[in-house]
Structure 1
Amino acid sequence: MILFPSLMAYLVLALFSLYLIYKDKEIQKERAFDRYSVALDSINNIIGGRYVGRYTTIQAIALDSTLQQINNPTQITILLERYRKATQSELILYVDRNGKYIASSTELSDGTKADLNLIRGKNFSNRDWFKNVVKGNFTEDITNGLIGTYSNDFQIDPLTTELYGKDKVTLAFTAAVKDKFGNILGVITTRTAVLWLENELKGTFRSLEKSGAHSPEIILVNSKGKTIVNLNIKTIDKDNNYIRDMEVILKQNLLLEKFEPVKQILEGKTGDGEYYSEKNKKIMLVSYSPINSNRFLRSLNWGIITMDPADDVFMKINRFAFISYVIISILLLVAVIIVLKFTASLTKNFNFLSDKLRKSSIQSEETSQNLKKSFTLVAETVQNQTKSITDTNQIMKALTSMISQTTDNANECSNISTHVKKEISEGNMIMEKLANAVAEIRETNKELMQISEMIDQISTKTNVINEIVSKTELLSLNASIEAARAGEQGKGFAVVAEEVGQLAKTSGKTASEIRMLIESGKKQVNEIISATKNRLEVGQAASDVAQKIFHEISHEINELQSRTENIKEATKEQKIGISQVASAMSHIDKSTEKNNSETQKAAQASEQVHHQSDELFQIMTAIRVLVHGAKTKIINSGENRK
């Protein structure tokens, strides 16, 4: 309890110290960004002023009347060398309107004579700067008043590289030389080295160092992210000379290195922040801005970056922070030692009392746990017994219900068998009637056979009639013949003979029709007799089988009815026995419930003993808290108790 407030006090002190360090860092960062912002504004103005001067200077040179004297190259050469020195250029070249060499400056920037044979006699009409000027395609910014000059970005110029015998990074400015009528006489171009930018930026670099920057760095980049100028403590010696690193100029591409400020510049944004530099392998404090002076050709899209390593900017603060951490740690250690020594004497006395209470608590806990386990076991046993008895009661009820249902089913079966027996008796009577009906049909069939015989007799008589008719016709024919022989005396007999012949024919026809009807009727009667005979035989056989089956079913129904009566008697006796068992199980269930109630009361008493043991243990734990003052001690005590 003493150590914890002390630790909290030191923790608050440490956090407050960290907050002060953080605020100091933010102040230092803001100051650094303010320095860089001033430097960026200065560089913007300087580059804008110098650029517009060189942009307009080439136009001023082009207006010199000496250049119109194309036939006097000596005077033009002297003029161009004078302008080269005045502008600190690498080369000034003058060609005619066809691109043919006229004159150029004669000395190099280091003061040595230039070997003009390398460029004299050449034709430059295929060069971009010549073609654009002749066509009037100038690099202009009308808003800022930059008109009439063709300018390209810094590049390794092939013209000066050939003349100097090594790579030369230059910025070209080109203008047209015209006569008084505005006709183009030639084209003049100047190659300006990066030296004029480097000299201007050196002054800003030294100003940053004087204002408190530790290891400042100034980088000028072009529209592709390539480095034009890189000033840092490694590229400027003690004599303030710039050591140009040609492995960096126009070869180091910060955009490809994914240096975020370059990307922001190319998007036209100005800002500052902390960024990781792949080139320096560290976090840098960076301010950046595009060259946005109104005296600069903004289409070039140059940008300026000023930065300083964050570790160097925060060097003093980091050293102070380290010392503060060490002092706070030492003070905290001393405080802990003092508190521990102070509490050691109290701990010894409390430990003795705590141990006694702990032993008593453990014994009470063990006793209560044993009682609790015993009563829990008994309660579980009683509960299981109660559950078993309840299940048995349910089973007995189910059995009683099933036996009642069986009794009902047996009664129903008895009723059904009685009804079936009655129906079978009626069926036997019907079968007997059916047998009698079959016998009567057989008698009827015999009568039909007699009718058939009578039809045969009628058919015989009909044949006799047919023979009589045939003979009558013959007699009629003979009578007609005889009447014809008699002449007039036989005419009356001829008429009679003719009539008798007609009656014989009619009788013969009728006898034939009767014979046909008799034959048809006889045929149908014979078919009926045959069909009836077959059906009588099938019906007789089926009737005999049915009578036999009905007799067997009647016998089995009598047997089923006897057994059903036996089942009814047995079911009544089972129902009485199960009712007695259910009554006994009900008494056992009541006794078990009473035992369960008593067991629960005993378990509650055991739980009270357990709570009393817990209270005793809590008292002991509180003493241990006072002694040890750590929550981990309470947890360890709880584990020991378990």
Structure 2
Amino acid sequence: MSKKSLSFKLNISIIVLLLLIVCSGIYTILMINKTQDYAHETGDNWLPSVLSTSKMSEGVGKYARRILGLLSNSLIHTGEEEKKLKEEDLKALNKYTDHINEAIEKYKKLVSGSEETELYNDVVKKWQIYDKAVRESLKINNEGKKAEAIKYVLKEARKDAAALEEAISKLATFNYNGGIKSTEKGANLTTITNITMLSIIGSSILIGLFIIQIIRNTTGSLNNAVENLKSQSVATSEIASTLKKGSEQLTDSASEQASSIHETSAAVNEITSMVNRTAENAKESTNVAAHASTKTETGQTTMQRLVSAMETIQQSNSELQNIATIISQINAKTAVINDIVSKTELLSLNASIESARAGEYGKGFAVVAEEVGNLAKVSGKSAQEIQELITSSQEQVNKILGLTKERVDEGKKVTAEAQQAFQEISTDISTMTSTIQQISDATREQEIGVRQISEAMGNIDRSTQRSQASVSSVSESAVDLVKQSKSLDTTAKDIEVLIKGES
């Protein structure tokens, strides 16, 4: 044992002492709990049982006195007074009966063990016998045999009451003896606990003396250790000072880096915002270009319809040319009619000449010839007017045809140019839409890239903040190390004073 280290000796001694203390504490707790169990057994089982048996005995005494009082009053009094007193005594008797039954029921919950169960059943049985005897005496009294009822109670019921009192007394004695035994067990445990605790205290004192001897034997070794501790304390203080200066410089660098990263992160956030706006504008431009492309397609469709309408107008012009041809034919037919009219007039003139030659015989024919000549003149005049109208209409139709043809040709030319322009616009808008879509895709990719850069900058910022926190922690640790070094130096001096004393 003398070759073992100080820590081993102290640890073994302290462990043994702690084991003694722990074992004594556990033993004391167990003994106290056991003593409390006996106390609880006495307080929760035996004492309530004694109290219940006391209430039973008291109830039986009152019950016996009340039945004697009832029968005595019935014997002494008569009439209404007897009836009134009898009702009051019966109420009181039933009340005592209920009290006894209640006490018996409460005690039933406290019964434990076969012996106590046997005693309890005996009390219940004898109470039922006694109560039955009392009810029998009341029955005899109600039949008018008052003196015989009192004799029955004094002779038969009193025996049953004595037997019941004896049974209750046995049950009370059983509970009293149980309480005494439980109390004696608790007292014995207390005595054993006191003896055990005294032994443990003695052992603790011996171990304490052994520890004191160990400390006295190792004081010389501690002197050298204190000197070494003082020199190490000085060296630790110098190292802590150097570490403190380095951590302060590192803290300043980390702060500057965190500030730069914060500014860079803010700039990246601003770029991200601008890229988002550009992406939104590109998206809006894409929508506008798509809308314009749709409108251009609609305009191109309208121009195609206009070309179709111009072609329809050209077909109508062809039909007008057919009408001009028909008018020319009508003009030719009118010329034929005019020729017929001229010939008719000539024939009418010849007829008039011939009728004049015929004299009286040709007068009727002359009238006819004159009428035919008049008709021919009217027809020739109408034919002339029709020919003039046809000629005028033909000129106007030809004029309209010429203007219509010129305008249709010009409209077709303008329509073709407009259609060509719309096609070129549609092509340009499609190209512009594709270009804007490419710009939008590129902007979206830029947005994703900038967002990733922003997230990376955020991660770097958080890492820098953690580094800054770590540097701050290191700086604080350096400060604490300086303080601990000073405290160590102070402690070494205190230990030196404690071991060697003040010089």
| TM-score past 0.5 threshold | no
Which protein has the bigger helix share?
A: 2
Larger RCO, structure (CA 8 Å, separation 6 or more): 2
Of Structure 1 and Structure 2, the greater strand share is in 1
Q: Could you tell me the TM-score, scaled by structure 2's length?
A: 0.36
